[in-house]
Amino acid sequence: MTSFFAICLAAAQAGSLGDLAAPPPLPNRPEPAIRCACPQDAPEEKIVFTGIVVDAELRVDASGRAVQPRQATVFRLIRADDPALKTPVKVWHPIESERCGLSFDYGRQYTLAARRTEKGALETDQCLLRAAPADE
């Protein structure tokens, strides 16, 4: 009878411990599940900043059973090109990939481009994210 240790050793030597191997380094940008169609309009004025995800705000629909397709992610500001931007920074974004949505991981650092809405809130999506410079 082969021992559990012998099986693990053989699997390790064969390189089949993919789940136990160190994960690859994560990029500082969320990865979209599918590529959305970005508008070809003139570029908007963008606010570029770097921050760490510390919280999120989800809202439910009228039924109270489903999350709305738009949520806010809250960042602790590290640096920004707009001196008026202060921490915490709440950024609204779609969450569905086909609507150019994004998702962010808690505790991760991201560099984002966002725009101000008519009401002054910040919002972003995959299209704006592509306009953000890479982290230094």
Nearest in space to 81 (alpha carbons), one of 28, 20, 131: 131
**What band does 35 get if pLDDT is binned at 50, 70 and 90?**
low
Domain that holds residue 44: 30-131
Is 6 part of any domain? no
* pLDDT tens digits, 39-98: 776 557 889 999 999 999 998 888 988 888 899 999 999 999 989 999 999 999 998 887
Average model confidence (pLDDT) across the chain: 77
More confident residue, 91 or 23: 91
Q: Give yes or no for residue 30 having a pLDDT over 70.
A: no
Q: What is the mean pLDDT of residues 23-28?
A: 46
pTM of the model: 0.69
CA distances 78 to 14, 19, 82, 108, Å, are 44, 33, 12, 12
Assign residue 60 the CATH number of its domain.
Answer: 2.40.50.120
Q: How many domains does the chain have?
A: 1
Rounded distance between C-alpha atoms, residue 36 and residue 111, angstroms: 20
Is 89 part of any domain? yes
Is 120 part of any domain? yes
Instruction: Give yes or no for a contact between 97 and 122, defined as CB atoms under 8 angstroms apart.
Output: no
pLDDT cut 90: percent of the chain above it:
38
Is 8 part of any domain? no
